[in-house]
A and B are shown apart, each in its own frame.
Chain A
Amino acid sequence: MAIDIKFIGKAYAPYTYDVCKEKIKEYAKAVKTLDPHYVDEKFAKKSKYGTIIAPPTFAVVFGANLIEPVFTDKELNLNMSMLVHGEQEMDFFEVIKAGDSITTGAVISDIKNKEKVDTITVEVTSKNQHGKLVCRGLYTFVVRK
Chain B
Amino acid sequence: MEKGQTFQDSEVVDKYRTLYYAGASGDYNPIHIDPEFGKMVGLGGAILQGLCTMAFATRSVTNLIGDPGKLKKIKCRFSAPVMVEDTIKMQGTVTDIKDGLGYINLQVTTQGGAEVLQKFEAVVEV
Contacts and interface: CB of A to CB of B under 8 A. Distances in A.
Interface of A: 23, 26-27, 29-33, 35, 37-38, 48-49, 53, 55-57, 60-61, 64, 81, 84-92, 95
A61 B69 contact: no
For chain B, which range describes its interface: under 10, 10 to 19, 20 to 34, or 35 or more residues? 20 to 34
13 contacts: A31-B55, A32-B56, A33-B56, A33-B58, A55-B59, A55-B62, A56-B58, A56-B62, A61-B25, A64-B26, A87-B75, A90-B74, A90-B75
Nearest to A57: B55
B69 A53 contact: yes
B25 A27 contact: yes
Contacts of A27: 24-25
Given A49-B69, A88-B75, A90-B75, A31 B24 contact: yes
Contacts of A91: 72-73
B21 interface: yes
B103 interface: no
B36 to A, nearest CB: 16
B25 to A, nearest CB: 6
B24 A61 contact: yes
A88 B62 contact: no
Interface of B: 11, 17, 20-21, 23-27, 41, 50-52, 54-56, 58-59, 62-63, 67-69, 71-78
A92 B71 contact: yes
B21 A85 contact: no
Contacts of A32: 11, 56, 59
A35 B25 contact: no
A86 B23 CA distance: 22
B78 A87 contact: yes
B65 to A, nearest CB: 11
Contacts of A92: 71-73
Given A37-B68, A56-B71, A64 B59 contact: no
Contacts of A84: 78
A92 B23 CA distance: 24
Contacts of A81: 41
Contacts of A23: 24
Given A85-B78, A87-B76, A30 B23 contact: yes
Nearest to B47: A84
